[in-house]
Amino acid sequence: MPAARVVFAEDDRSAVADAVVEILADGMLTLGPRTERFETAFASVHEVPHAIAVNSGTAALEIALRIAGVADREVVVPANTFYATAAAVLHTGGRPVFADVEAATFALSAATVEAALTPATAAVLLVHIGGLITPEVDAIRQLCDDRGIPLIEDAAHAHGCTYDGRFAGSFGLAGAFSFYATKVTTSGEGGMLVTSSDRLRDEARVYRDQGKGSFNANHHVREGYSWRLSEVHAAIGEIHLRRLKEFIETRREVADRYTAALADLPGLVPLVEPPGCRSNFYKYVVLLPEGVDRARFKRETAERFGVRLPGEVYDLPLHHQPVLAEYADGPLPVAEDICARHICLPVHSDMRDDEVDQVLTALSAVHTDLIG
């Protein structure tokens, strides 16, 4: 059982191959009709007015932060996120301020954001870890509104996820999605910025194409960069996106089976959806009891049962990452604890029942040996 599996059905592979032939034949290789189609489809799926395609999730974050004007100011970032969340802040000339999170959601709460705010705060970056949108999202947004600062969502994990019927990407000024290869839907590499702001849409289009005031003019009005998505990647992304609904259904069925089985394995505590949340289960997260050797747990499921557990989200908090040491400011105990103590179970968008059985057999046996 692989830790991750990229699922492109035969039909989809043929559709991509046809699209590549068409793109090469008509010679429109970037910022063409495929990009527009991908943007329109993504915006529609997420019920947001605008989507702007770029070549990575990191680019989407950086564009949102540039438009928010965070240079020389602080941006609140959860300690347990991917390096790129903080790197996007650094690239804009801002300073990441790491905040603690809640164990029940792996996300910021209004209280942890409040503890990290200073007069220099320019924005808050909320990350929907594993596809779970915290029910604190409205309180966090309110806090941001009260301070007059934007909330930006790092929705890299959260394709198609909702809280209270509202989609990831619709809670803040902007939401940044990633189409990195392992994400729930992928374009190979790619990203998408979503927003309901017309101004932000227009600015984002300028930023992604070297800050040019218009496509055909050599006239640079912003410090943009080469963040365009190629038409080939847009075609892959749009074709894969058509599967999002069925992928999420399959992933949720897998998650339901895991949650039911874990009820009989005391000490293994899954991250469950709080009321109102609908996750895509990009990650299925389980907390191990304190003192259990995670590396050994993973080794045993792999070596004895052929079940390779996926990577954690994330095993080392950002304030402990060597390259970010200068931004670390004291302990963040919840983030440190959950980073050290969780595992993720494999969830594939085409996972079969017998594969779920195989994971559960491994879990149960290793649970008996290591937890008892």
Select 157 or 205, whichever has its Cβ closest to ligand PLP. 157
Whether the Cβ atoms of residue 124 and residue 145 lie closer than 8 Å to each other: no
Of residues 78-97, which lie at the interface with ligand PLP (CB under 6 A)?
81-82, 84-85
Please list every residue from 123 through 182 that binds ligand PLP, using CB under 6 A.
127, 154, 156-157, 178, 180
Contact status: 57 vs ligand PLP (CB under 6 A): yes
Counting residues that bind ligand PLP (by CB under 6 A) gives: 14
Q: How far is the CB of 191 from ligand PLP (least distance, A)?
A: 5
Tokens of 61: 């974050």
| Cβ distance to ligand PLP smaller for residue 56 or 121 | 56
Nearer to ligand PLP (CB atom), residue 175 or residue 191? 191
* Spatial contact of 67 and 203, defined as CB atoms under 8 Å apart: yes
Least distance in Å: CB of 127 to ligand PLP?
5
Span from 77-85, 132-140, 264-272, 361-369 in contact with ligand PLP (CB under 6 A): 77-85
Query: 125: closest CA among 59, 61, 76?
Result: 76
Please provide residue 28's backbone torsions phi and psi, each rounded to the nearest 5 degrees.
-90, 95
H-state helical runs in the chain: 10-26, 33-45, 57-68, 83-91, 110-116, 137-147, 198-208, 231-241, 244-262, 294-305, 333-341, 353-370
Q: Is 199 exposed, middle or buried (0-12, 13-18, 19+ CB in 10 A)?
A: exposed
Q: Which range, of 51-59, 194-202, 241-249, 350-358, touches ligand PLP by CB under 6 A? A: 51-59
Q: Report yes or no: 124 and 118 within 8 Å, Cβ to Cβ.
A: no
**Does residue 191 bind ligand PLP (CB under 6 A)?**
yes
Chain residue at closest Cβ approach to ligand PLP: 57
- Residue numbers at the binding site for ligand PLP (CB under 6 A): 56-58, 81-82, 84-85, 127, 154, 156-157, 178, 180, 191
